[in-house]
Structure 1
Amino acid sequence: MLLGRTSTAERVADILRNRIAEGYFPPGTRLSEEAIGGALGVSRNTLREAFRLLTHERLLVHELNRGVFVRVLDAEDVADIHRTRRLVECAVVRGLGQPPYALDALAAAVAEGDTAARAEDWKGVSTANIHFHRELVALAGSARTDELMRGVLAELRLAFHVVDDPRTLHEPYLARNREILDALRAGERTTAEGLLARYLDDSLTRLSAAYARAVDTPAD
């Protein structure tokens, strides 16, 4: 669908950020101004401003005389993403008020992951996992926190692309997402925070190991 003339670079950046988070643009992909601008019906200047915003968010890089590319993460990026997630996500759960909580969107993300797993769609499972954490943060009711985590979770998706065995990485978190949901349904905020903290620590360990195998191991 073409964007209207009143659309802004921020809206274009939102679309591209979501595309990255959904896995449509893998790391290293060159983004064509002509193709994307034509698809969205926006000017080259608007698109370049959107690229600039996403470069500031560390999702894109501009290479002189070559163009704009989706960023390729390194091991320190993966660690820093998880530090940020732990700070934000655990604080959101810790700061929840008295139950009951509005958990329909969180439950929908769990169901989405289960459906994808039954179809052995592991990319779909990883997308559902990102949706779960996005909706978890949304429980804070903070537009600023939501905006921060949209970028962080899009970066996380870039790390997923280098994993050689996505099922092994993502499948265990289906049950763990449900455990967190069940704890929140029971009003057990402290339990949910503990589950989440261990989840994120384990996620960093697993993803860093997978990332090292895929990226950091020198070629023979």
Structure 2
Amino acid sequence: MAASELDPLLASLSAARLQRRAVMSTSAERAAHALREQVTEGTLRSGTRLPEVRLAEALGVSRNTLREALSQLVAERILVRVEHRGVLVATPDTAAVRDVYAARRIIEPAAVLHGPAVDAAHLDALDAAVREGTAASGRGDWTGVGSANQHFHRAVVALAGSERLVAQMELLLAEMRLFFHQMGDPEPFHAPYLDENAVIAGHLRAGRREAAATRLAAYLGTAEEQLVAGFGEIAERARTTPA
């Protein structure tokens, strides 16, 4: 992402801060959340270098506070520090895919099967994410479909009724978006899961929690293998392409 391409992002961060009227000058956590959300929603992509001064201004924080926020995101594997280049959005590998899906296979089916928050509001959030994805696919907006998929899985984990699990899922979803970036054309990856999300939401709406959990577990396994295969193809191309 070129420096000029960062301008809309920085303007968005600044506008959001002003709209919320949040005092962020002493809050590294809020700054980290704002940047993490930009990764989750696909605005910040792998390899993007983060300009410290401009980011601090956009977020309304001191440079020391921003550095604390960046260090937090580095610890979360969302950002990396590169000598002579500064802080960049991470570029994940196959090991990261395996690790993230190991966590997701434990968290998400359990939230569906045992979560105490399977109520009208949470079911409505699942349905809303399904409709969002369907609408985006109708427009040919596959990046938007990816965002809707993120929203669906966020709503799945919310069924657990645990703020701690929801916070953990935010970290996993940010890494997930970085995985998607590596796959190139988003349509082949996201298209099959539109119907899967609708089926899972339908099972939950009908009270078929075990069926929903079983379907979700299978879905996550398929998605993991699809990503691993895609990463393998990327690595092979890099190995065989002349420098």
| Fold-level similarity (TM above 0.5) | yes
1:60-209 map, 5 Å: 60-97=79-116, 102-209=122-229
- The Cα shift of 1:180 comes to 0.2
Kindly tell me the number of residue pairs found equivalent between the two proteins.
220
- Divergent runs of 4+, >6 A: none
1:161 is paired with a residue whose SS is helix
**Residue 9 and residue 180 in structure 1: after superposition, are their counterparts in 2 closer, same or farther (change >3 A)?**
same
Comparing 2-11 with 106-115, greater Cα deviation is found at 2-11
- Give unpaired runs (5+ residues) of structure 2: 1-14
Taking CA–CA contacts closer than 8 Å with sequence separation of 6 or more, which of the two structures ends up with the larger relative contact order? Answer: 1
**Residue 90 and residue 125 in structure 1: after superposition, are their counterparts in 2 closer, same or farther (change >3 A)?**
same
- The Cα shift of 1:143 comes to 0.6
Question: 1: CA distance between counterparts of 2:51 and 2:240?
Answer: 30
Aligned mate of 1:25, from 30, 37, 44 = 44
1:55 is paired with a residue whose SS is helix
Alpha-carbon contact 1:162-1:215 (below 8 Å) kept? no
Alpha-carbon contact 1:99-1:187 (below 8 Å) kept? no
- The Cα shift of 1:164 comes to 2.4
- The Cα shift of 1:124 comes to 0.5
Aligned mate of 1:53, from 72, 78, 84 = 72
Question: 2: CA distance between counterparts of 1:56 and 1:195?
Answer: 33
Q: CA RMSD in A?
A: 1.5
- The Cα shift of 1:6 comes to 5.2
Residues 3-39 of structure 1: CA deviation (Å, up to 9, x unaligned): 5255500000000000000111111111111121111
- Corresponding residue of 1:36: 55
Question: 2: CA distance between counterparts of 1:124 and 1:72?
Answer: 21
Alpha-carbon contact 2:25-2:61 (below 8 Å) kept? no
Residues 46-75 of structure 1: CA deviation (Å, up to 9, x unaligned): 100000111111101112332101111011
Q: Percent identity, aligned pairs only?
A: 44
**Residue 38 and residue 219 in structure 1: after superposition, are their counterparts in 2 closer, same or farther (change >3 A)?**
farther
Q: TM-score normalized by structure 1?
A: 0.95
**Larger helix share, 1 or 2:** 2
1:30 is paired with a residue whose SS is coil
What letter corresponds to residue 67 of structure 1 in structure 2? Answer: G
Question: 1: CA distance between counterparts of 2:119 and 2:84?
Answer: 55
Question: 2: CA distance between counterparts of 1:44 and 1:122?
Answer: 36
Alpha-carbon contact 2:78-2:89 (below 8 Å) kept? yes
- The Cα shift of 1:212 comes to 1.8
Question: 2: CA distance between counterparts of 1:204 and 1:99?
Answer: 26
Residues 94-144 of structure 1: CA deviation (Å, up to 9, x unaligned): 213496553111111111101110011111101110110001101111010
Alpha-carbon contact 2:32-2:72 (below 8 Å) kept? yes
2:240 is paired with a residue whose SS is coil
